[in-house]
Amino acid sequence: MERVQTTEENYANPKTCLFHVLFKAASLAFYILSALFIDSFVIIFVVTVFLAALDFWVVKNVSGRILVGLRWWNEIDERGESIWKFECLDQESLARMNKKDSWLFWWTLYITAVAWIFLAIFSLIRFQADYLLVVGVCLSLSVANIVGFTKCRKDAKKQIQQFASQTIASHLTSSLQSAFSIV
């Protein structure tokens, strides 16, 4: 019997994908399930925010770089102004990024924020302002990564377009110079 090879692409970085999803799921699961088992708001707040902070750090510094080739950070200059800094792989490396890894990265980033929004609405409906604080912190960490990586992706596309236009312009200029030097 002949083996049929599939052209389906696998995850290139399964461990990174696992941890990318694991911390998101852990913070959401702990927050949701803690109401059943834990009576202390302080423990729920500390553990949930700690897990969300771990997720923020892993996404910002590890999985963003490995899964989509992007990294961002924010600096404060001498005048006290906030400056966004973006880093991305070169065009050739970005083109080789695994599509499944990228898909998982972006979808889980957005789905997590949506889940925190639903939990915020639920806290509002139940008049639980203290739990709304937990959700607000976790949502702000999630949204910070969305904003940072979205800006980074737009900056990367702009850099790629500039590189392509510069390459075409320099190639065209050298072609014209060689054409006129022959004449």
> Dihedral through CA 6, CA 11, CA 12, CA 14, nearest 10?
-140
What's the pLDDT score for residue 164? 47
Tens of pLDDT, residue by residue over 148-167, are 878 776 655 555 455 445 54
Domain range annotation of the chain: 14-181
Tens of pLDDT, residue by residue over 105-147, are 888 999 999 999 999 998 888 888 888 999 999 999 999 888 8
Task: With H, G, I as helix, E, B as strand and everything else as coil, classify residue 89.
Answer: coil
Handedness of CA 115, 121, 122, 128 (dihedral sign): positive
Answer for the pair 15, 104: CB distance below 8 angstroms, yes or no.
no
Backbone angles phi, psi at 171, to 5 degrees: -65, -40
Q: What is the C-alpha to C-alpha distance for residues 75 and 70, in angstroms, rounded to an integer?
A: 17
Q: What is the DSSP letter of 38?
A: -
pLDDT at 13 over 90: no
Per DSSP, helices labelled H in the chain are 14-37, 41-58, 64-67, 91-95, 99-125, 129-182
Task: With H, G, I as helix, E, B as strand and everything else as coil, classify residue 7.
Answer: coil
Q: What is the C-alpha to C-alpha distance for residues 86 and 84, in angstroms, rounded to an integer?
A: 7
Answer for the pair 86, 174: CB distance below 8 angstroms, yes or no.
no
Residue 119 is which amino acid?
L
Residue 138 is which amino acid?
C
Total-model pTM: 0.72
Residue 174 is which amino acid?
S
